[in-house]
Amino acid sequence: MQPRFRETAFMRGVAQLSQLPEDAGVEIAFAGRSNAGKSSALNALCGRKALARVGRTPGRTQEINLFSLPPAEHWRLVDLPGYGFAKVSAGKRAEWDQLLGAYLRTRQNLIGLVLIMDIRRPLTDLDRQLLEWVPLERCRLHCVLTKADKLSRQEADRQLRKAHGELEVMGVEATLQTFSSLKNQGVDDLRGLLGDWLVDHESD
């Protein structure tokens, strides 16, 4: 049973963990800094222009947004609040971070996290902080280095190798890829990998 990403549909947005659906089924979450291109990557993955909100101002995803992923009724994609956006109050940033961290630490049906990072600035201090919240013993990690069209192929490959090396030093096991929503680069690779995650989980 393969996921039909183009049929992904918005379910609900929640501002508190208590508003989430029952902790059952299967969820794959997307996280990233507010200006890393997370919403654009999610839209490209699903072949939809406005599934996730893309704004001129970073930091628009202020809730946890859940999407159903056919054909399985229990598959969901989860768009987590962007983090690290400076032009909001310290209180609001702390609120988002608390929501984000609590989701990652406590959600038992989370089988994978897609960490979205700008290829020009991967693994910032905030990205590293987020990784400390991820239960890597039961949750797969895939790092997507977006905006690859901003660099030459050679420089993009160098950044990919550098990020892979830094994750190894941190003791973090992950898969990585380059990505460009503008050029539709890496979209099929991401679909294939997430499909494998879901199929592998169903066969366990």
Is the model more confident about 97 or about 191? 191
Confidence of residue 58 (pLDDT cuts 50, 70, 90): very low
Band (pLDDT 50/70/90 cuts) for residue 83 is confident
Domain ranges of the chain: 5-199
Distance between CA 94 and CA 64 in Å, rounded? 15
Interatomic CA distance for residues 174 and 168, integer angstroms: 9
Model confidence at 21, in pLDDT bands (50, 70, 90)? Answer: very high
CATH homologous superfamily of 5-199 equals P-loop containing nucleotide triphosphate hydrolases (3.40.50.300)
What's the pLDDT score for residue 85?
63
Question: What is the tens place of the pLDDT at every residue in 180-192?
Answer: 999 999 999 999 9
Q: What is the mean pLDDT of residues 8-20?
A: 92
